[in-house]
Structure 1
């Protein structure tokens, strides 16, 4: 059997060469990290859940015309995606004060923000992903003004969709992080959503109880991370109701 060529490995995913030119296989790992990888554990089943939740969300976004790198699911842990040139900026959309913005601005966590706020962070673990402005992004050539406009428009559209999606299943979308890339098609280039959208990259709170259903359960040593991710998948309708104790891992509905 031919060994797959690894293109890139990050903290939570591995990218392998795809079966056709211009494609990659995105593999979701069980590695769980926080605080620039200074906190690291393997949590069995997390990658399977993130793969399925992200696949579901990206499919829905594709359906409403949001351009993404996602093509199709391959198995429980892998997706076929289009190869893109990743823009080295993490885009964070905030609806409610939580995490770093609450600390930076002295806002009580859980306070609704006056409007959705977009923040940019430079992707550099060794620098702890510093917050940057549009001026930094254009001055250093990470993206053009037009690309920033496209990214912001897509980020707000994604926020509108996700807010409604999660609200419909009793979950409050506090904030989320996304990444974008340049997809080249012949002489044409367009900005598309890349990476993933999962409880690893979102803050999701139960509307009734305010329970955290995201990676803050790991960051803050709350425990129950897989159970929280399973609850998100169950509410989205992509996890069987069968007793998980009778199974070796999460049982997911096939696409």
Structure 2
């Protein structure tokens, strides 16, 4: 992965032909490395089998890197156009992984002498959030949002319900924008909204340190520029209306998590930053 990231350092400056050549070579390296890793893991077992959640986790990371590499030549607003099948595959492997996620506590606290063969990913929420915010298919994004609400997972200072609420809000805002453009008979290219940054805040007077953040500050980019919104994510409500935004900053708040552009899983994010900014920036900032 380090070799692939290094190849994208000057990607922005290349000609279209040069970019395509780099993309094709990196995809070849990615697929070859993934196949070799899976085979090496199978060779560790006498029957050649592989622990299913472990394989699913590797396949998820492979597919995410594949879809990112394939789209790095596009503008941010048009990125991932025509990649719905890859996003569907990512979601299918996430479903395979979710069973182990739900049984995680039982597996990790087992008293059996058998060593634990699988380290649970700390990016499962980001896997689903990536699909829920970047895919161009509304149906696939809705499935990813439902999966976030079902998995009941917490990672660092956010949980799957936070991610589902923000993704659902973004989807709702895009639909409002499309409806407005249809009414005005406009057909603007790249009319999807791009989530550029996400910050979660706790209420400052909350006594319990583990209290869920109640507010999200998001920066969203479209063809007209960058806009900031405050979203009250509150308590998780399955099947309820999407959260609403407010133009004003809430008072008495404490920052607890920042996710910066692009909000992707780590390996894909590193490649994206190299292409967009020419450097690797902080992956996740905690106050």
TM-score (norm 1): 0.22
Structure with max Cα Rg? 2
Higher helix share: 2
TM-score (norm 2): 0.20
Higher strand share: 1
